[in-house]
Amino acid sequence: MSSFSIETHPEALRRDRILSSKLYFDVPLSKVSIIYSSAYDISFMGIEKLYPFDSSKWGRVCRFLISDGFLEEKSIVEPLEASKIDLLVVHSENYLNSLKRSATVARITEVPPLAFFPNFLVQQKVLYPFRKQVGGTILAAKLAKERGWAINIGGGFHHCTAERGSGYCAYADISLCIHFAFLRLSISKVVIIDLDAHQGNGHETDLGDDSRVYILDMYNPEIKPFDYGARRFIDQKVEVVSGTTTDEYLRKLDEALEVASQSFQPELVVYNAGTDILNGDPLGQLKVSPDGITSRDEKVFRFAREREIPLVMLTSGGYMKSSARVVADSIANLSRKGLIQTGPGSVST
């Protein structure tokens, strides 16, 4: 294909970028399907504490799993950083250039002091960790296709669209993951099960008019982003209002999964498993217990396992220090129940 034809056909250019990416690589069986890098964790002169998100949550999840005996550090898969070419699969050049302005990143992360830092520091201390997590989300689909499941201890930036970041989400990792899976994994249908407390308006905007993607979004309509335009792209909308308790939440989830199973036959599940539904979370405003999170995750994994659908799990939101412990306990439960294998040679059958 000539350079002229590539440049004048966006889909051909997207294809070329995906096929040339290094984000997919072969992972030895000595590694398990859990993806994480110490680069995920954000520490920037203490100003990360100005945002309610626990910016070291991802590392704490892994340390809990290691200390509890469910995971060996040497068995964790380290992803590559998503390059500019990788990001251009979904994002525009204009949007990526906007991230070269620290004020833009300050708005996205909701940390106003970031606007006053040189952009090279913002790139290194904030955006580089995000780009590593994007690489993890993209790689997770390949691992899931090969082994039945994969968990990126990070990612789930479900508020970011191709043209705009918001809500601590600078890159559209879910949209990117799915576009890579369509081409590199020959997957033709994907279901997004978004169980973060907030509406996943990013992937809805990017993928909502794509008939290959079915979106189940279970969210609190009384909290931001209040993106009514994106809501029209949700195939299965399940609203859980502030104060919803564990039993009610799990009942609605059971009903939603049953409807989804009858409505769409996917070849990949992308599960956005935010823990901001926890009782006490200052942003989610729901009242789901830690055991409720464990039950929720188990239900989604059983949904995929019973239908032999590869599943990618992303940890997404969660705004309390306790979230890391809850995520780790839930992953440990999945291991105990045989829904994932966290020892060497972890290929699901």
- Which residue of the set 9, 91, 158, 159 is catalytic? 159
Q: Is 159 a catalytic residue?
A: yes
- Write out the DSSP string of 210-276: -TTEEEEEEE-TTSTT--HHHHTT-SEEEE--TT-BHHHHHHHHHHHHHHHHHH---SEEEEE---T
Q: Which residue from 251, 199, 204, 253 is spatially nearest to 226, judged by alpha carbons?
A: 199
In terms of Cβ atoms closer than 10 Å to its own Cβ (0-12, 13-18, 19+), residue 149 is buried
What CA–CA distances, in Å, run from 140 to 77, 177, 244?
10, 8, 31
Question: Is residue 21 classed as helix, strand or coil in its secondary structure?
Answer: coil
Question: Do residues 58 and 41 touch, judged by C-beta distance below 8 A?
Answer: yes
Question: Do residues 217 and 203 touch, judged by C-beta distance below 8 A?
Answer: no
Catalytic residue ranges: 159
